[in-house]
A and B are shown apart, each in its own frame.
Chain A
Amino acid sequence: MHLCVAICDDMEEERLRLSKMLRNYAYRKNTGFHIELYSSGNHLVSALKPGRWDIVLLDIYMDGMDGMKAAEHLRREDKDCILIFVTMSREHGTESYKFMASDYLLKPVRQEHLDKSLNWCLNKYSERFRTISVRSEWDDIEIPIRDIHYIESALHTADIHTRQRVIKTPRGINALEKDIGSGDFLRCHRSYLINMNHVRRMDKQDFVMDNGDLVPIRTASPADIRQEFIYWVFQQGGRKANPFISL
Chain B
Amino acid sequence: MGTKVRIAVYTGGKEEPSPVCSLLNIWAESTCVSIEVFIRSFDELPETKERYEIIFVGGTALDIRTIMQLRNVFPECGLIMLTDDRKLAVDVYSCHPNALIPSLPTYAELDAAMERCFHCWREGIKWLELPLRHRRINIPIYKLYYVEAAKHNSVLHNSGGTLRVSCSLSDLEKQLPSPPYVRCQKSFVVNISAVSSITGGELIMRDGETIAVARRYMQDFQKSFQDYKMRLFVCMGSGRC
Instruction: Decide if A30 is an interface residue (CB 8 Å cutoff).
Output: no
Which listed residue, A90, A226, A243, touches B160 by the CB 8 Å rule?
A: A243
A93-B89, A94-B89, A97-B99 known; A247-B160 Cβ under 8 A? no
| B160 adjacent to A94 (CB under 8 Å) | no
Q: Chain B residue with minimal CB distance to A204? A: B133
B143: CB under 8 A from chain A? yes
B72 at the interface (CB under 8 A from A): no
Minimum CB–CB distance from A91 to chain B (whole Å) comes to 6
Q: Is the CB of B39 closer than 8 A to any CB of chain A?
A: no
Shortest C-beta distance, A84 to chain B (Å), equals 10
CB-contacts of A125-175 with B (<8 A)? none
Which residues on the A side are within 8 Å of B138 (C-beta)? 227, 230-231
Whether B159 lies near A238 (C-beta < 8 A) is yes
Main secondary structure of the interface of A (DSSP, over half): mixed
A94 and B161 form a contact (CB under 8 A):
no
Known A90-B87, A93-B89, A97-B100; contact A233-B160, beta-carbon cutoff 8 A? yes
CB within 8 Å of A: which B71-103 residues: 83-90, 93, 96-97, 99-102
Q: Chain B interface: which of A3-11, A36-44, A98-106, A206-214?
A: A98-106
From B88, B96, B115, B119, give the contact of A120 (CB < 8 A).
B96
- Chain B, interface SS category: mixed
Other-chain residue from A91, A240, A241, A247 in contact with B163 (beta carbon distance below 8 A): A247
Give complex CA distance A230, B162 in Å.
12
B132 at the interface (CB under 8 A from A): yes
Q: Could you say which residues of chain B place their CB within 8 Å of the CB of A1?
A: none
* From B84, B86, B118, B161, contact of A244 by CB (8 A): B161
Q: Which residues of A contact B4 (CB under 8 A)?
A: none
Of B100, B116, B139, B160, most buried by chain A (CB within 10 Å of CB) is B160
Task: Judge if A183 is at the interface, Cβ distance under 8 Å.
Answer: no
Pairwise interchain contact B89-A237, C-beta atoms closer than 8 A: no
Task: Assess whether A107 is interfacial by the CB under 8 Å rule.
Answer: no
Partner of A94, one of B84, B139, B164: B84
Task: Give the residues in chain B near A227, CB-CB below 8 Å.
Answer: 137-138
State whether the Cβ of B107 lies closer than 8 Å to any Cβ in chain A. no
Question: When the two chains form their complex, are residues A90 and B86 in contact, meaning their CB atoms are under 8 A apart?
Answer: yes
Q: Beyond A226-B132, A246-B162, is A94–B86 a contact (Cβ under 8 Å)?
A: yes
> Is B158 in contact with chain A by the CB < 8 A criterion?
yes
A window 216-247: CB within 8 A of B: 223, 226-227, 230-231, 233-235, 237-238, 240-247
Find chain A residues with CB under 8 A from B87 CB: 90, 93
Q: Digitize A85-122: 1 where CB-to-B-CB distance is under 8 Å, 0 elsewhere.
A: 00000111110110011011010000000000000100
Residue among B90, B115, B161 with max Cβ neighbours from chain A (10 Å): B90
Select B90's contact among A104, A120, A240, A247, beta carbons within 8 Å: A104
Chain B residue with the shortest CB-CB distance to A101 = B93
The winner among B118, B122, B161 for most chain A CB atoms within 10 A is: B161
Cα-based distance from A56 to B137 in the complex (angstroms) = 41
CB-CB nearest 6 A-B residue pairs: A243-B160, A237-B118, A93-B89, A244-B161, A223-B135, A93-B86
Given A97-B97, A230-B138, A245-B161, 4 additional A-B pairs, CB 8 A: A104-B89, A201-B161, A238-B143, A242-B160
